[in-house]
Amino acid sequence: MNIIETKDLNLHYGEFQALKNINLDVSANEITALIGPSGCGKSTYLRTLNRMNDLVHGVKIDGSVRYRGEDIYAKDVDVTVLRKRIGMVFQKPNPFPMSIYDNVAYGPKLHQKMSRSAMNDLVEQSLRKAALWDEAKDRLKKSAMSLSGGQQQRLCIARALSVSPDVLLMDEPTSALDPASTAKIEELMGQLKQEYSVVIVTHNMQQAARISDRTAFFLTGDLVESGPTADVFSRPQDQRTENYITGRFG
Amino acid sequence: MTTLTPATGSALKGGLSAKRRAYSIGLRTAMYACVAIAVSVLVGIIGFVLYQGLGHITWELLSTQRSALRNTIGILPNILSTLYIVITTLLIAIPIGIGAAIYLCEYASNRKVVRLVEFTIEILAGIPSIIYGLVGFLFFVLNLGMRPSILVGSLTLSILVLPVIVRTTQEALRTVPHSYREGAFALGGTRWYIIRTIILPSSLDGIIGGTILAVGRMVGESAALLFTAGVGFTLVTNYFTALHTPGASLTVSLFLYITEHGNRDVGFAIAAILLIIVLTLNLLIKLVRRKFRKI
């Protein structure tokens, strides 16, 4: 089942066209990897899915992005609800300057009033899903800044999960982390896809090959090729894809 | 082939000619002298004022008002006037200044408008304060028919310190990483919620620092108040009555005691008090910054 469907999507930053006629679907309970060299539009595409590009001045978008059949760019769409359904994890861990507990509770507080005990449960649940509970349970009131980089990134994942999203967008979530932390997050993503649909932008092709079910290759704003990861990596249809994945450029 | 070392002898000694060495030493001496002059002038002024003034600060001076009958001098009304002016000015200028800074940093999307407003604020900051006094007098007193009072003085002073507050608040807001905003937006946060829960708390130290800086400007300002706050010397303890009463601030009274009464001792006592207040405020800024930075 397709959870997100993109049709004829074009995006301009002023005069510059960053995305050209993109047609791409995201399937439920799968990991979709977006690969391509820097500036190819993969992060820009990711940010159209939860309308983070709305925050950038001078962005113009046409075409359609549908989430569970609904046009997310329709006039009556409430972006706060959209972003609750489609969560995001960023390249650099960006915990808020508050306690670990408050970081996870921040999103739920935004959307609904909850009792103290319900909030405690939700925080624990979210930290467990992000595989951080055991490391954090004794220091929930400590500043999130006291965590290591890898722990901070898992905290950001817990924070994104706390508002019970449906889709998780990850923008190069491991590029600022060491190999051990990267391995933890990759393993975590494997678990997360049971419950969520994940779209991940990555610079690391081995990572895309290891963890994703489907892969889409972007180049200078075009979607060159997309399909099951095994096919894209072993039998690329397009010469440019082959050149990129074999390391001839990028 | 050229070489940097002398053809014979040590490779490490005798690099610079005597002339260049003398030049270098001369320049260094000149720079030491500049620093010595700057520091000694500053320390000299502070020391001189405190030396001349501290001895004349008595409890009677601080706690009474001037009496022509008993021929005594007290500066309590002036201390209160200064306090009232600071409080009133803060009440007016803080909401406007912080509000303007938040708008410029977080809401305004038109870069041209932002640049124009920032340019205007720069210009406002550079105008001599006596001109604010003059304009305040013309507008509030002559046009609106208010009489010189603590309120009119504070209104005028608010315009004067607004640039300080807007600029320091903007700087404080700009230090908040963009990634916090992105993270909160991605959770479905609305702009005002994010400002209230993340941006303001994490820029509080800078905003408080800027506010204290502004208080320093208020305490030290005289020219803008001379026309607008009036020259009252009577004690008014009720804040709301004082608002509509003329009152000479410490700085204005310092000017008047020296020029009209020729009372040098009281003048220096007030000067010493002002100096102590301003030094304390500066120390406070440092303490606030250090306290918040620990988190």
Mean pLDDT of B231-253: 89
Q: State how far residue B1 is from chain A, nearest Cα, in angstroms.
A: 45
Question: Is the pLDDT assigned to residue B7 strictly greater than 70?
Answer: no
Segment B171-215, tens digit of pLDDT:
999 999 999 999 999 999 999 999 999 999 999 989 999 999 999
pTM for the whole structure: 0.82
For the domain A2-245, what is the CATH superfamily, name and number?
P-loop containing nucleotide triphosphate hydrolases (3.40.50.300)
Query: Per the CB < 8 Å rule, is B182 touching A159?
Result: no
| Per-residue confidence band for B4, with pLDDT thresholds at 50, 70 and 90 | low
Domain boundary among B56, B82, B103: B56
In a domain, B263, yes or no: yes
Q: Is residue B12 part of a domain?
A: no
pLDDT at residue B28 is higher than 90: yes
In this structure, of A192-196, B15-19, B94-98, B166-170, the range with the lowest mean pLDDT score is B15-19
Looking at every residue in chain B, the average pLDDT score rounds to 90
B265 and B176 in one domain? Answer: yes
**Residue range of the domain that includes B30:** 20-56
Domain assignment present for residue B15? The answer is no
Check B182 against A94: CB less than 8 A apart: yes
Candidates B180, B187, B204: best to mutate against A (most CBs of A within 10 A) is: B187
Residue B14 confidence (pLDDT)? 66
- The answer to the question of residue B10 being in a domain is no
Taking only the tens place, the pLDDT of each residue in B68-108 is 788 888 899 999 999 999 999 999 999 999 999 999 999 98
Based on the fold, state whether residues B223 and B86 are members of the same structural domain: yes
In SS3 terms, chain B reads as CCCCCCCCCCCCCCCCCHHHHHHHHHHHHHHHHHHHHHHHHHHHHHHHHHHHHHHHCCHHHHHCEEECCCCEEEEHHHHHHHHHHHHHHHHHHHHHHHHHHHHHHHHCCCHHHHHHHHHHHHHHHHCCHHHHHHHHHHHHHHHCCCCCCHHHHHHHHHHHHHHHHHHHHHHHHHCCCHHHHHHHHHCCCCHHHHHHHHHHHHHHHHHHHHHHHHHHHHHHCCHHHHHHCCCCCCCCCCHHHHHCCCCCCHHHHHHHHHHCCCCHHHHHHHHHHHHHHHHHHHHHHHHHHHHHHCC
Residue B5 lies in a domain: no
Mark yes or no for CB contact B188/A156 under 8 Å.
no
Has residue B9 been placed in a domain?
no
Q: What CATH number does the domain containing B85 carry?
A: 1.10.3720.10
pLDDT number for residue B289: 79
Q: Please tell me the predicted confidence (pLDDT) of residue B9.
A: 63
Q: How far is B119 from chain A (nearest CA, A)?
A: 22
pLDDT band at B111 (very low <50, low <70, confident <90, very high): confident
Specify if B8 maps to a domain. no
B6 in a domain, yes or no? no
CB contact under 8 A, B198 and A143: no
Q: For residue B8, is pLDDT > 80?
A: no
Query: Which of A57, A81, A94 is closest, CB to CB, to B109?
Result: A57
Co-location of B155 and B281 in the same domain: yes
- The verdict on B114 and B49 lying in the same domain is no
Same domain? For B212 and B266 the reply is: yes
B260 and B226 both lie in a single domain:
yes
Per CB-CB distance under 8 Å, the chain B contacts of A96 are: 180, 183-184, 198
pLDDT by 10s per residue, chain A, length 250: 889 999 999 999 989 999 999 999 999 999 999 999 988 999 999 999 999 998 888 899 999 999 999 999 999 999 999 999 999 999 999 999 999 999 999 999 988 889 999 999 999 999 999 999 999 999 999 999 999 999 999 999 999 999 999 999 999 999 888 998 899 899 999 999 999 999 999 988 889 999 999 999 999 999 999 999 999 999 999 999 999 988 877 5
The nearest CA of chain B is from the CA of A81 a distance in Å of: 6
Q: pLDDT band at B17, cuts 50/70/90?
A: confident
B38 shares its domain with B137 = no
- Tally of structural domains, chain B: 2
User: So what's the pLDDT on residue B69?
Assistant: 82
Whole-number pLDDT of residue A35: 94
